Amino acid sequence: MSDAELPPVIVGAGPAGLASAATLVKAGLRPIILDEAARPGGQGTRRLAPAMRSMSQRLMGGNATARTARRERDEDDILRACDWRPGSLVWGVFGNRLEMLRNGVHDSLEFSQLMISPGATDRIMALPGWTLPGVYSLGGAQVALKHHAALIGQSVVMAGSSPLLYLAAAQYARMGVKRLVVVDTTSTRDKLKAGLGMALTAPGTLLEGISLLLELRRLGVRTITGASLRRIIGEERAEALEIRRSDGTVERISCDAVAYGHGLRPETQLAELAGAEFRFDPVLRNWFPVIDSDGRAGPRLWLAGDGARTGGRVAAAKSGRLAALSMLEARGELPQSTDREALRRSIVRLRQFQTHMAKAFRWPHEYAATLPDDTIVCRCERVHAGEIRAAIRKIAGPAEINRVKAITRCGMGRCQGRFCSQTLQELTAATADLPVSDVGRIRAQAPVKPIPISASQPETVQP
């Protein structure tokens, strides 16, 4: 089949992927959509489990429930017009072929145009005790509630520096968790300083955040700001979170579950395997793929959503549509009238909002330098901070994160560095006394997620 005959391929059925698909369908194409999950929706738009649907108004509110129902109907209409392949774990990109597991069976797919929109995951800084049972990421706490219809505990502390902190806390409070404490590691002063920029770039989003704060206050949820997280205490599971308040006093907050995180980190492994280059953002202290104003990252490659650049749900959808328009232009099928310029301006503004928000919800990079040596950094391989420091001090030549990974195995486990790479990056920079941009980023390798050996055998390939 020639390149012109191959349909566009979209990896990820969140807001960016679905918006891209809708644009391509409207142009008369039938794109292939691949997603690891059985149902569409990204992290912020995750569909509720059947057991939660009767409680949707309680969880989201009446207006939000109606909007969500309309959105999901629209998504289903889009998917019916596409070649929708749920349960497809794309684990590698080799030239112009995707390798995947589809419902547990190996499959390959050739493409001429590939749009990747895998979203983002929680950004985690290692903490003494963070590997105890009962400790979750903020996103994990949401998944437990929305996807599994389960609370992570009845006495919950939600901590860190992330806008998701207040959304997840509000959702848990709405579902009846009475013993709930929010610990925000960014000070109120920093939030006020960032407020003007947030108000100028996305006032509606800012108002949504303020409404969550007011709701938590009405519900009587205790909120602590400007504190630092010291450790999670427990024998068999989490029993308390120890913090240092802004006045210097140490407090232990009893609980049976802790959810924490510090914003988002982009899922970029597939983009790297597909050929994307990367650039360090000094404000967000993170690496992002290099894209043009339409999301193009290579001759056959487009990226959209939070996996390309943090921007939130609305920006993700707009970037997905913009990428699809660029794909149509590359095929010589761009409609005469489009909203490309308006989309570009809107996306720039929404991503600027995220830059301001990064100051209101600070990534606490300075924590890495003070981590006790016995703190587990890589929970998959059980690599401790002291082992990493010792390895860095013995390295002949510049300290680089992939060399540290090779020596210590930090980042080689099941999650492939998704949850330890940010701590490893900051710990390497602090120990070697280097700018964090100089120590590099963990390189992606296939398979980007674990796959069973049996499924990768040639005889299991289906035509």
CATH code, domain with 196: 3.50.50.60
Strand partners, 244: 228, 250
Are 273 and 323 within one domain?
Answer: yes
* pLDDT score for 46: 79
The tokens describing 127, both together, are 């903490």
* pLDDT score for 47: 80
- Specify the number of domains making up the chain: 3
Query: What is the C-alpha to C-alpha distance for residues 223 and 218, in angstroms, rounded to an integer?
Result: 12
Q: How confident is the model at residue 411 (pLDDT cuts 50, 70, 90)?
A: very high
35 has pLDDT over 70: yes
pLDDT tens digits for range 321-364 = 999 999 999 999 998 878 999 999 999 999 999 889 989 999 99
Residue 431 sits in a domain of what CATH number? 1.10.10.1100
- Higher pLDDT: 72 or 231? It is 231
In a domain, residue 461? The reply is: no
The tokens describing 359, both together, are 């100051």
Are 23 and 110 within one domain?
Answer: yes
Q: How confident is the model at residue 5 (pLDDT cuts 50, 70, 90)?
A: confident
* 210-219, long-range: CB < 8 A, 24+ apart: 212/166, 212/167, 212/169, 212/170, 213/166, 215/170, 215/173, 216/166, 216/169, 216/170, 216/173, 216/182, 219/170, 219/173
Are 106 and 234 within one domain?
Answer: no
* pLDDT score for 352: 92
Are 157 and 258 within one domain?
Answer: yes
* pLDDT score for 365: 95
∠ CA 171-176-180, rounded to 5°: 75
Strand partners, 120: 266
SS3 81: coil
Cβ-contact 418, 441 below 8 angstroms: no
In a domain, residue 146? The reply is: yes
∠ CA 303-304-308, rounded to 5°: 75
Query: What is the C-alpha to C-alpha distance for residues 406 and 383, in angstroms, rounded to an integer?
Result: 12
Are 149 and 238 within one domain?
Answer: yes
pLDDT tens digits for range 176-202 = 999 999 999 999 999 999 999 999 998
**Total number of residues shown for the chain:** 463
The mean pLDDT value of the chain amounts to 92
Q: Report pTM.
A: 0.92
Percentage of the chain surpassing pLDDT 70?
97
The tokens describing 340, both together, are 């490309």
Are 172 and 230 within one domain?
Answer: yes
Are 129 and 258 within one domain?
Answer: yes
* pLDDT score for 163: 87
* pLDDT score for 205: 87
In a domain, residue 49? The reply is: yes
* pLDDT score for 184: 96
Q: Give the domain extent around 430.
A: 367-439
Instruction: Say which range, 46-55, 239-248, 269-278, has the weakest mean pLDDT.
Output: 46-55
SS3 274: coil
User: Smallest Cα–Cα separation from 329: which of 288, 306, 295?
Assistant: 295
Query: What is the C-alpha to C-alpha distance for residues 165 and 122, in angstroms, rounded to an integer?
Result: 11
462 has pLDDT over 50: no
Cβ-contact 135, 234 below 8 angstroms: no
Percentage of the chain surpassing pLDDT 90?
78
* 338-345, long-range: CB < 8 A, 24+ apart: 340/294, 343/318, 343/319, 344/293, 344/294
Burial class (CB in 10 A: 0-12, 13-18, 19+), 336: exposed
DSSP state of 296: B
When pLDDT is averaged across residues 17-39 and rounded to a whole number, the result is 95
In a domain, residue 446? The reply is: no
The tokens describing 195, both together, are 């407020």
In a domain, residue 84? The reply is: yes
* pLDDT score for 62: 64
pLDDT tens digits for range 365-391 = 999 999 999 999 999 999 999 999 999
In a domain, residue 313? The reply is: yes
Are 153 and 258 within one domain?
Answer: yes
When pLDDT is averaged across residues 30-58 and rounded to a whole number, the result is 85
Are 80 and 38 within one domain?
Answer: yes
Domain edge (last residue) among 357, 388, 410: 357
Whether the CA torsion 409, 412, 418, 421 is positive or negative: it is positive
Are 11 and 101 within one domain?
Answer: yes
- Higher pLDDT: 58 or 17? It is 17
SS3 269: helix
In a domain, residue 445? The reply is: no
Q: If residue 383 lies in a helix (H) or strand (E), which one and from where to where?
A: strand 383-384
Are 34 and 133 within one domain?
Answer: no
The label of the residue with tokens 């060399």 reads 403
* pLDDT score for 405: 95
* pLDDT score for 2: 65
User: Smallest Cα–Cα separation from 410: which of 369, 439, 370, 442?
Assistant: 442
Cα pseudo-dihedral 326, 14, 24, 447, rounded to 10 = 70
pLDDT tens digits for range 432-446 = 999 999 999 999 999
In a domain, residue 414? The reply is: yes
Strand partners, 243: 229, 251
When pLDDT is averaged across residues 143-169 and rounded to a whole number, the result is 93
Are 269 and 255 within one domain?
Answer: no
* pLDDT score for 274: 97
pLDDT tens digits for range 108-152 = 999 999 999 999 999 999 999 999 999 999 999 999 998 888 999
Query: What is the C-alpha to C-alpha distance for residues 291 and 302, in angstroms, rounded to an integer?
Result: 8
Domain edge (last residue) among 262, 287, 305: 262
Domain edge (last residue) among 238, 262, 286: 262
pLDDT tens digits for range 205-228 = 899 889 999 999 999 999 999 999
Buried b (16+ CB within 10 A) or exposed e, 305-335: bbbbbbbbbbbbbbbbbbbbbbbbebbeeee
